[in-house]
Structure 1
């Protein structure tokens, strides 16, 4: 309950911080178009009949989110800011949850949390074999004349059967020494079983505490990478209109199911549904979700020759998600619903790949916060750039190591899927004809949370292996001349005073070897402790600096919408309906809460034509609307030029120029005879 409350409070703090950042971004026509579609979706048009959307519809994802937010905010720029803040908060929390190992606990802590027995096994050097055997009277205050064995902490059975396990228990770099590695405690436990029970309880409590702490380490690392975006382009990419950023939510949910519900029979079905849900709104999920899942799980299934296992079922789930998403969109269109153009994706010439790769590298810098746009206070940009550099380096290292693991066949399933998804997203941007510039960073937005998860999982394992509180990893076994074996020490009978069956000299030799091994362990732990402390210290610095930036730096609030000055003038003049360039059309409609409606147009053959993109066919209906002005952006002639307007409608009553906008006012309905190709 305490953990859930802390996470909820953290989420609220994130939401408020991200809302402040989102308000630093001006609402453009893309987000405003989605807002109008969401309003229609929730007000009697569930299939969005008559709408032509963009090549990314966001129909079952962000449009639903927008509609829910509008129940509180109405159709307004604030609604877009709130939705963006909610989306990025969800991305950060889901990434942290996914990065956190399931059932995470360091091996030393996990051992400490297991139930202990009331017997102790003492490692003896040179023993011929393992003769320990459980006694039915073990742990009773009066065991009688029967010889009892004392198990080495919680894993006595394992230690007795596996000398290497016993060897690791002897060194015990975690400091959670059991009776097996401490002759004094062994003697005390032999005389009083209650001491062993008490010690094992302390070990269990310490182990649970360490396990809980280490379980959250990876989550904290993921949050550190995603916590505070760089002001400027990163705000515009991650905290504005739906720009593929929200598509990371269904991706992360699908990977959570793969990781957390891997033993559930229903898991592949749920993964297929979640990926299909996301892909129906954004085709990018097919390329960075379903395709990597199919490729990696099918490869694992073939390598292991398990064609009926979890990997094979997940491969089928990925294929099923593609079929389901396409079937859903086909059915909607057949029922008279919205139309979404197919994205025009083709291979770019090979000669362009190096230049495109360089631009993609800068786009990655925008996402991770290492690219300085020079639009905010220099101290803010320099500080955030410095603390974001470790994150991008860690992500590159994690991707490289996972690739090596893939070649060797040792990569974890989730790590492999994440790595291939990242490569697919970046690679598609390099080899395709998709528009490529820093504003196109939105196309690779899911790379950031997936990289954060992959990097956090790698860093967590690395720090865990070097932590003085974790058991020594297998690659660093306890230095000993030879692994000790486990021999039972029959305890003396209080009445008969029987002699011990183990010679004193053998016991002394064993004790000396244990002391030497423990000393080597302490020296080894000290060596491993240095990089672990350095890594944790760097993480603390990164988080502290980002918290200071989040709390202390208030980004300047931007104008609510693009073309705000033109919108204000139109509203003051009482002009309610007109035509305009795309980037000053639907955003003005939303920014004025429909007090002024501007319909998008294009320039074609020397005149203005309707735009088949983010528009509804009724917008151009002269019987329903009376358009009396044309609003143009003089810097974007593809959406209409003054020459187009004059050739089509003649001289206006007046022309007004405001900043880079030109407004032509007429005294007749400009929709009469207007060509709406859609």
Structure 2
């Protein structure tokens, strides 16, 4: 639980732009501090609203909107902490609603107070100029191709139309090729298994499809080729890309493919229990 709370703190900082390890250079570090002030203002506003609601006597008026916003933040963060799904900073998307909700809360709690300060307007102008400059800088920066874009082009050019891959590679490649190359998600543990999460049973049916390649993310050392080789034997082709390797086989990898049913395992995805996340 302690680790989940620490992860929650860091992903909220990521969403607010206040996560220092993501910043590089003096200007970037300065902006991290500016965003950190915003995060602390939102956190303090949350504490104030919750305290007022708990200490308010029966019949006394309260700020219902602020209280509802606070409930939304607490519920979102609480669900994140007790969930087993968040595992790294990429999970920040699961609490992204805390950013606008926190901004609303900070505005309602601190806005009237700051408006009465004589120097509030010049400070606000400076902050908005800094934020605007940061926005322009990010907008002007040259974007990088998505991960596995080179893999998607290669598979499409080779006419390899159906295969397996770890979760993000499967999504990226399928979308980047407009579905011309269908990569179905697997869990790259031992054994490599069909992933019963945002997937369909018939994707893994060897009577309907012939999966002839496997895409592995080599940036994670636990997702190596040894498991694939032990499970299916050596590939007939191996092609390495930046952070990714493609193993091509002369057999259907769907035959005998076990399934990870979250949290159970089954001999095939068709044999997964009916409870758990629904299939789409």
Q: Which TM-score band applies after superposition, normalised by the shorter structure?
A: 0.7 to 0.9
Please list the CA deviations of residues 214-269 of structure 1 after superposition, one character each: whole Å capped at 9, or x if unmatched: xxxxxxxxxxxxxxxxxxxxxxxxxxxxxxxxxxxxxxxxxxxxxxxxxxxxxxxx
User: Are 1:361 and 2:9 counterparts?
Assistant: yes
Say if 1:375 and 1:565 are closer, same or farther in 2 by CA, change over 3 A.
farther
User: Are 1:622 and 2:214 counterparts?
Assistant: no
SS class of match (2:269): coil
The aligned counterpart of 1:633 is: 217
Match of 1:572 among 157, 162, 168: 157
Q: CA RMSD in A?
A: 2.9
Higher RCO, Cα 8 Å, sep 6+ = 1
Are the equivalent residues in 2 in contact too, given 1:383–1:545 (CA < 8 A)?
no
The aligned counterpart of 2:234 is: 651
Match of 2:49 among 385, 402, 426: 402
User: Are 1:613 and 2:205 counterparts?
Assistant: no
Q: How big is the shift at 1:636?
A: 4.4
Please list the CA deviations of residues 103-129 of structure 1 after superposition, one character each: whole Å capped at 9, or x if unmatched: xxxxxxxxxxxxxxxxxxxxxxxxxxx
SS class of match (1:663): strand
The aligned counterpart of 2:130 is: 545
Please list the CA deviations of residues 2-43 of structure 1 after superposition, one character each: whole Å capped at 9, or x if unmatched: xxxxxxxxxxxxxxxxxxxxxxxxxxxxxxxxxxxxxxxxxx
Which consecutive aligned stretches of 4+ in structure 1 deviate over 6 angstroms post-superposition?
A: none
Matches within 5 A, 1:419-498: 419-430=70-81, 433=84, 435=86, 437-463=88-114, 466=116
Equivalent-residue separation in structure 2 for 1:361 and 1:653 (angstroms): 46
Equivalent-residue separation in structure 2 for 1:601 and 1:400 (angstroms): 42
Equivalent-residue separation in structure 2 for 1:559 and 1:457 (angstroms): 40
Where do 5+ consecutive residues of structure 2 fail to align? 259-267, 271-280
Are the equivalent residues in 2 in contact too, given 1:603–1:637 (CA < 8 A)?
no
Are the equivalent residues in 2 in contact too, given 1:602–1:638 (CA < 8 A)?
no
Say if 1:444 and 1:652 are closer, same or farther in 2 by CA, change over 3 A.
closer
Q: How big is the shift at 1:448?
A: 1.5
Say if 1:383 and 1:670 are closer, same or farther in 2 by CA, change over 3 A.
same
SS class of match (1:448): helix
Taking structure 1 as the reference length, the TM-score comes to 0.34
Say if 1:601 and 1:439 are closer, same or farther in 2 by CA, change over 3 A.
closer
Taking structure 2 as the reference length, the TM-score comes to 0.76
Match of 1:667 among 247, 250, 256: 250
Q: Which has the larger radius of gyration?
A: 1
Are the equivalent residues in 2 in contact too, given 1:402–1:411 (CA < 8 A)?
no
The number of aligned residues is 256
Q: How big is the shift at 1:460?
A: 3.1
The aligned counterpart of 2:142 is: 556
The aligned counterpart of 1:536 is: 121
Q: How big is the shift at 1:397?
A: 3.4
Equivalent-residue separation in structure 2 for 1:673 and 1:360 (angstroms): 39
Equivalent-residue separation in structure 1 for 2:221 and 2:108 (angstroms): 49
Match of 1:393 among 35, 40, 61: 40
The aligned counterpart of 1:417 is: 68
Matches within 5 A, 1:120-159: none
Higher strand residue share: 2
Equivalent-residue separation in structure 1 for 2:87 and 2:234 (angstroms): 39
User: Are 1:600 and 2:185 counterparts?
Assistant: yes
Say if 1:594 and 1:623 are closer, same or farther in 2 by CA, change over 3 A.
same
Higher helix residue share: 1
Please list the CA deviations of residues 129-155 of structure 1 after superposition, one character each: whole Å capped at 9, or x if unmatched: xxxxxxxxxxxxxxxxxxxxxxxxxxx
Please list the CA deviations of residues 607-651 of structure 1 after superposition, one character each: whole Å capped at 9, or x if unmatched: 433221122222223343232222222454776x53333334333
Say if 1:633 and 1:439 are closer, same or farther in 2 by CA, change over 3 A.
closer
SS class of match (1:373): helix
Equivalent-residue separation in structure 1 for 2:82 and 2:187 (angstroms): 29
Please list the CA deviations of residues 364-402 of structure 1 after superposition, one character each: whole Å capped at 9, or x if unmatched: 3222222223455x2552342243244223323322332
Equivalent-residue separation in structure 2 for 1:427 and 1:381 (angstroms): 31
Say if 1:663 and 1:638 are closer, same or farther in 2 by CA, change over 3 A.
same
Equivalent-residue separation in structure 2 for 1:442 and 1:583 (angstroms): 15
Are the equivalent residues in 2 in contact too, given 1:398–1:458 (CA < 8 A)?
yes
SS class of match (1:613): coil
Are the equivalent residues in 2 in contact too, given 1:627–1:670 (CA < 8 A)?
yes
Equivalent-residue separation in structure 2 for 1:404 and 1:608 (angstroms): 49
Equivalent-residue separation in structure 1 for 2:121 and 2:162 (angstroms): 59
Equivalent-residue separation in structure 1 for 2:81 and 2:8 (angstroms): 7
Equivalent-residue separation in structure 2 for 1:375 and 1:600 (angstroms): 32
User: Are 1:373 and 2:21 counterparts?
Assistant: yes
Say if 1:644 and 1:365 are closer, same or farther in 2 by CA, change over 3 A.
closer
User: Are 1:677 and 2:269 counterparts?
Assistant: yes
Equivalent-residue separation in structure 2 for 1:356 and 1:601 (angstroms): 25
